[in-house]
Amino acid sequence: MIINCKGKLIDLSNPKIMGILNITPDSFFDRSRYDDVSKVLVQVEKMLSSGATFLDIGGHSTRPGAMPVSEDEETRRVLPVVEAIIQRFPEALISIDTFRAKVATDCIAAGAVMINDVSGGILDDSMFDTVTKLNVPYVLMHSRGTPETMQQMTHYDNLVVDVLDDLQTKVATLRQLGVKDIIIDLGFGFAKTADQNYVLLNHLRDFEVINCPMLVGVSRKSMIWRKLNISANEALNGTTVLNTVALMKGANILRVHDVHEAMETVKLLSFLA
């Protein structure tokens, strides 16, 4: 599975790591928040030297219950960061974590190479057309509602079938529009209960029928720390366990806060091949 990131071909048949950089004051894991460009650049250097292939930059918290941020504020947060990273690390592959087409467009113009849309196109009607126009890889995530409402939208007739059907339908729409590089994300923690997250993780192989690379983002999420009665700050070990499961069930990209530990997981599992 190869994706084209503005002319750079990335082979996802060997799992890759995406490092998380939240340019927000309210992300659920406090050590992933960055409000100063110089601090971001220090973390970027650390992530790249640890083996991250992608950097995921987000300026709008999408944790359950998060309050909305204006488009102008989101752009003000992320655009200078994208520009600074590209200036210091011109070969960096930046993913812009946004559900807004305008924010995505501005960041792609500044040097980002991928769009990571946690809403799967439902919060901005122009997103799919924008992805088509920009011709960049698109992470299509399953979700429902908004960050304020999604945790009241966890009823499914059949969880696996319903999520699979939603993603398949949207992939078909994107293919008809001409989008070539689509990565699917089951949306762990988005309109799912903790138990539903584990059902989806256990059925990850079922989603291979879509024939798209799969991104898994479970890093330090409440599905881990609430089950263990700990905090997000203490959830690295649990994250590594679930990342291991995800890789063994076919994940192509791990979206993580802790790049070094995720890279060790990928390396050790490679010896089982």
Is residue 273 predicted with pLDDT exceeding 80? no
Is residue 28 predicted with pLDDT exceeding 60? no
Lowest mean pLDDT among 27-41, 65-79, 88-102: 27-41
Catalytic residues: 221, 255
**Per-residue b/e over 109-127, b at no fewer than 16 CB within 10 Å?**
ebbbbbbbbbbbbbbbeeb
Contact 114, 137 (CB under 8 A): yes
Secondary structure letter of residue 66 according to DSSP:
P
Q: If we measure between CA atoms, which residue out of 88, 120, 21 comes closest to residue 61?
A: 21
Question: pTM, whole model, 2 decimals?
Answer: 0.94
Strands 2-5 and 8-11: antiparallel
Structure confidence at residue 148 as a pLDDT band (50, 70, 90): confident
Overall average pLDDT of the 176-200 stretch? 97
Q: Which two tokens stand for residue 158?
A: 């059949």
- CATH number of this structure's domain 15-265: 3.20.20.20
Mean pLDDT value across the chain: 93
| Cβ atoms < 10 Å from Cβ of 15 | 24
Is residue 112 predicted with pLDDT exceeding 60? yes
64 or 124, higher pLDDT = 124
Overall average pLDDT of the 105-124 stretch? 97
Q: If we measure between CA atoms, which residue out of 184, 189, 188, 206 comes closest to residue 140?
A: 184
Structure confidence at residue 43 as a pLDDT band (50, 70, 90): very high
Instruction: Give per-residue pLDDT as tens, 203-241.
Output: 999 999 999 999 999 999 999 999 999 999 999 999 999
150 or 185, higher pLDDT = 185
Overall average pLDDT of the 55-79 stretch? 86
Is residue 38 predicted with pLDDT exceeding 90? no
Structure confidence at residue 29 as a pLDDT band (50, 70, 90): very low
The pLDDT value recorded for residue 33 is 52
Q: If we measure between CA atoms, which residue out of 52, 38, 42, 46 comes closest to residue 80?
A: 38
The pLDDT value recorded for residue 30 is 46
Q: If we measure between CA atoms, which residue out of 153, 112, 149, 156 comes closest to residue 130?
A: 112
Q: Quote the percentage of the chain above a pLDDT of 90.
A: 86
Overall average pLDDT of the 181-203 stretch? 97
149 or 175, higher pLDDT = 175
The pLDDT value recorded for residue 80 is 94
Q: Which two tokens stand for residue 110?
A: 């500044």
The pLDDT value recorded for residue 201 is 98
Query: Helix and strand tally (H, E) in the chain?
Result: 9, 10
